[in-house]
Amino acid sequence: MIVRDVTRVTVLANVVVVVVGLIVLTLLPRWNSGGDGARTAVAARPSEPAPATASAEAPPGDKEPVTATPESAKKVKANEAGLVPVIMYHRLLPKRIASIDRTPGQFRKELERLARKNYVPITAAEFVSGEIDIPAGSHPVVLTFDDGHSSHFALDSDGAPKRDTAVGIIYEVAAKYPEFRPVATFWVNRTPFGLNDRAEQTRAVKWLVERGFEVANHTYDHPDLRSLPTKRVSEQIVRQERLLAKLGTGPSTTLALPYGSRPRKLSVAHDGKWDGTRYDFDGVFLAGAEPAVSPFAKKFERYAIPRIQSNGKHGECSRWCTTYWLDWLDDHPKKRYTSDGDPKSVSIPRKLRDTVASKRAGKIVVY
């Protein structure tokens, strides 16, 4: 088990993110260039990626269903009560400006590490709902991007994701590692992907959603919600929900709190209304600082899900960020969520039986 106090480290890490984020947004202009860098070829990158299927390795009709048994679960050392890295990204810049920025090269390297270690991406919505349909023996990872920056997604003249954008790199890595499912979650504000034209916003959102990506609510203006009265918090959420509806995506099932800052009335972050419009999220995500517990675990807190900032091991990141935590999970494989390959069951070692919430798990396989 993780011996640190989860609440204490999460709160402290969120404070760090709030301070850094406020400074960045105050002092820096929003980077609105295409972010595609040098126009060199990407090996095996499809010119127009097809809409994503439920599995990276085969269309739904061709995938042979897996029925987990104690024997099959033991063989792959399944632990679906284990920890899941939910990784937080912001801008991808050729040269980092803020500490939370990453370069395309750093992002590519991290994804390739995840792919080599048998991680398979799922969306935040899939994680919260427990719809984790990945191959036996693999591990879920949730790739999340805040603010809808132009470096996250843009299309080139051929209608393909631009090189060195987040989506372009995700597809590049998926082409190199076929089981690395090309999906992610983008939590956006009032100008998704740096686009001001409504038709372009709609095209971008439609392109992503049709290919299995999640585009969801990060509030309209990205305020620190703790500084706002309850009514203003609801207004910020509802205005963004209305925008997303106009762009063609359904009601958001997840919300990422700007700066990871929780409103003074905690419940308003996941359930409320403003100007006649209601919202009700299945999951609310913070800004730090540890892997999330399984959605099937009794300790799962759906309205305070921690994320891990993508970064190295320098300074405050020595115990907060992805390099540290991915190393830790490699060194503690029994703590990590490992799939049994059967999305209809939850497989766990016998000693973990009491850690699983039976109502959430459905069919439980114990070995």
The closest alpha carbon to 89, from 321, 300, 261, 291, belongs to 321
Query: Which residues, in sequence order, are CB contacts of 229 under 8 Å at separation 6+?
Result: none
Query: Which residues, in sequence order, are CB contacts of 30 under 8 Å at separation 6+?
Result: 149, 191, 194
**What is the chain's alpha carbon radius of gyration, rounded to the nearest angstrom?**
20
Count how many domains the chain has.
Answer: 1
Answer whether residue 43 is part of any domain. Answer: yes
Q: Tell me how far apart the alpha carbons of residues 367 and 364 are, in angstroms, rounded to a whole number.
A: 10
Answer whether residue 355 is part of any domain. Answer: no
The closest alpha carbon to 249, from 200, 189, 208, 303, belongs to 208
Answer whether residue 218 is part of any domain. Answer: yes
- Residue 252, domain CATH: 3.20.20.370
Query: Which residues, in sequence order, are CB contacts of 256 under 8 Å at separation 6+?
Result: 124, 144, 146, 187, 216, 217, 218, 284, 285
Write down the H helix ranges in the chain: 6-27, 70-76, 104-116, 124-129, 166-176, 198-210, 230-246, 322-331, 358-361
**C-beta separation of 194 from 30 below 8 A:** yes
The closest alpha carbon to 185, from 154, 160, 153, belongs to 153
What secondary structure letter does DSSP report for 80?
T
Range of the domain at 135: 6-65+83-337
Return per-residue pLDDT of the chain as tens, 367 residues.
Answer: 443 444 444 444 444 444 444 333 333 333 333 333 333 333 334 456 665 543 434 444 456 789 999 999 999 999 999 999 999 999 999 999 999 999 999 999 999 999 999 999 999 999 999 999 999 999 999 999 999 999 999 999 999 999 999 999 999 999 999 999 999 999 999 999 999 999 999 999 999 999 999 999 999 999 999 999 999 999 999 999 999 999 999 899 999 999 999 999 999 999 999 999 999 999 999 998 899 999 999 999 999 999 999 999 999 899 889 999 999 999 999 999 999 999 999 999 999 999 999 887 779 999 9
Q: Tell me how far apart the alpha carbons of residues 279 and 270 are, in angstroms, rounded to a whole number.
A: 7
310-329 tens-digit pLDDT: 999 999 899 889 999 999 99
pLDDT at 62: 57
Answer whether residue 289 is part of any domain. Answer: yes
Q: Tell me how far apart the alpha carbons of residues 331 and 320 are, in angstroms, rounded to a whole number.
A: 16
Answer whether residue 25 is part of any domain. Answer: yes
Answer whether residue 70 is part of any domain. Answer: no
* Strand pairing class (139-147; 119-122): parallel
pLDDT at 213: 98
pLDDT at 47: 52
Tokens found for residue 25: 């947004």
Residue 271, classed as helix, strand or coil, is strand
Residue for token pair 């890595």: 173
Answer whether residue 293 is part of any domain. Answer: yes
21-79 tens-digit pLDDT: 433 333 333 333 333 333 333 333 445 666 554 343 444 445 678 999 999 999 999 99
Answer whether residue 303 is part of any domain. Answer: yes
The closest alpha carbon to 189, from 223, 225, 214, 229, belongs to 223
